Structure 1
């Protein structure tokens, strides 16, 4: 047997035969859905729009040292990081605790697994944070209280900003400790070298900067002048004494003065022997001290900049629009609920009566056909 063809036009007679029941069902759906829809609480939506900034541009070290400027970062990794932070459970825990959402959502007593999961699910359903087609982030929150919805949205933006800053600056505390330890080490090292330099100057009688190699060295000029003058006077006195004149005492005095200028045991603080013995040591110690001083000044400046950076509060996002209390509800869309209920009821009614008609037709076809006796005799 060939299967019977089916046409949508064939439904119209069926609908006409059952029109009263269909109309009754649709009317009942209208009434019930309207009652339910108008009893549903109004839910308001508050939206905040912001751009993430480039983390490198918000680095305080770069701003202080290089004079950098804040730059908007529409990079995919910046947007993904902000969205991930906004959807994270630590952020949810902060908002739930701050606004006492357990009581607001009537989830139950905090601390129980059922209540915690219920309030988290409700919070997640009410939160929307997406990447817009203009490379901005739209954060929206739904709530039955329009003011609460706006406050939660703005607080979420602040919490996201704070956590994002913490992620980009989480190692600054350790870096500051390293800078402080480096500064302390250089201070101790500089003090030790300074003490060694003072001891060497006292021991060798060298109080200039770099000894004989420096034109401004006091000892070099003093020794050169005194040695030349004393030696000249000694030679003159010895010549006069050899010629039968002069004074032996003067010659002895000049020889003693010459010994004091050239030998360490001669009694002079500044003498050639000590100067030659200690010039290299004093020069090396002074160069070491100068190097440590330069490094110490640089380390102190770096440490101060790092302390300034860790205490700075530079926003990692640029807020274009703060969340404000909504002027009208976002949901429920009551006319849409009523129309949807009526359409679904109508569709289900048509399907039901169609199946019922098909069932009746099948029963009719399956009944045996009764033949009259007169027809059989004929």
Structure 2
């Protein structure tokens, strides 16, 4: 313990002995660092914050079923768009970044340099509140704000274009499906018309009842006329009356035969007609639903849609983001102080142990 105290005391004495040199080196480092830091340009950071909009806003859903804000996948899609070549190329061209960053366009590595510059000064990230933060740094505060807002607007426009393309694909698919179903519906209508004409079926609901009523009436009429003819023959009635009743009886029997033929044809065609009617009805309902859906999608496609919800517009900052000169000066000064102190201690140990002579002997 005593040896440790003596050793620590020896180090303090040694540092005190060299205090002037250490203080001078530290002050020089502080002065040089302060001077160099003053030559560094000021950078200003502009930030815009926004949320991803839900895809439900562009769907034909009831208001109570719609979500306003997007999910994590929607945010990831916006973050991917933010770092896409389309957005980066837009920023480079719209804000003339080659000239702004003093990069020679004719340099073979110009495109690589401009991308590296963007990597340093342009960034997007998720916040702890699940929003998207877009940050641009620049020497000009107004330029950084304009570029941040421009990048955000381009991200939204690109996302809107993706949504529009997706909607158009749905619309095209619906149109083709409607056209196909319309042709099938027409074919069913033609088949139904031909079946009805062939079997003389005009109404499957009321025609059967009408046939039943007519059958009862005609059977009764035939039996009644037949009974009258038999009665007149039995009583040796007038031949004119008998012939007149026989003519009516013959006509009634022909009507009954025709009715039986119609009923037979009706019964043969009824199942097929009912089946096609049902199929045609279902087809018509689905076709009507598809047409209504198409109308809704077309209305949404032709309307303005939001891909993001802006929480904070980027404004020109009044306080620089970097360099933090005080931290830089203090940090370098402390580092030089520590290094100078270590150098004094190492040099003292080197001299005490006469390492130089040992190296020569070796």
Name the TM tier (shorter chain).
0.7 to 0.9
Q: Residues 166-315 of structure 1: matches in 2 within 5 Å?
A: 172-210=167-205, 212-213=207-208, 219-220=210-211, 223-224=214-215, 227=218, 230-231=221-222, 234-235=225-226, 238-239=229-230, 242=233, 243=235, 244-245=237-238, 246-249=241-244, 251-256=246-251, 258-260=253-255, 262-263=257-258, 271-311=262-302, 313-315=304-306
1:40 aligned residue? 40
Give, in whole Å, the separation in 2 of the partners of 1:277 and 1:255.
Answer: 27
Give, in whole Å, the separation in 2 of the partners of 1:135 and 1:148.
Answer: 27
Matched, 1:98 2:94: yes
Q: 1:144 aligns with which of 139, 147, 153?
A: 139
Structure 1 residues 147, 294: closer, same or farther in 2, change over 3 A?
A: same
Residue 154 of structure 1: how far off its partner (Å): 2.5
Q: Any conservation in 2 of the 1:42–1:331 contact (CA below 8 Å)?
A: yes
Give, in whole Å, the separation in 1 of the partners of 2:160 and 2:119.
Answer: 24
1:319 aligned residue? 310
TM-score by length of 2: 0.76
Q: Any conservation in 1 of the 2:146–2:314 contact (CA below 8 Å)?
A: yes
Give, in whole Å, the separation in 1 of the partners of 2:268 and 2:299.
Answer: 48
Residue 287 of structure 1: how far off its partner (Å): 2.4
Q: Any conservation in 2 of the 1:14–1:354 contact (CA below 8 Å)?
A: no
Residue 95 of structure 1: how far off its partner (Å): 2.7
- Residue 319 of structure 1 aligns to a residue in which SS? strand
Q: Which has the higher contact order (CA 8 A, sep 6+)?
A: 2
1:134 aligned residue? 129
Deviations 1:303-359 (A, max 9, x none): 333434555554344322221111222122233334444444444444455555555
RMSD: 4.0
Aligned pairs, number: 350
Which one has the bigger helix percentage? 2
Structure 1 residues 143, 222: closer, same or farther in 2, change over 3 A?
A: farther
Residue 188 of structure 1: how far off its partner (Å): 0.9
1:373 aligned residue? none
- Residue 172 of structure 2 aligns to a residue in which SS? helix
Q: Any conservation in 2 of the 1:107–1:118 contact (CA below 8 Å)?
A: yes
Matched, 1:334 2:325: yes
Structure 1 residues 11, 97: closer, same or farther in 2, change over 3 A?
A: farther
- Residue 134 of structure 2 aligns to a residue in which SS? strand
Give, in whole Å, the separation in 2 of the partners of 1:351 and 1:207.
Answer: 111
TM-score by length of 1: 0.74
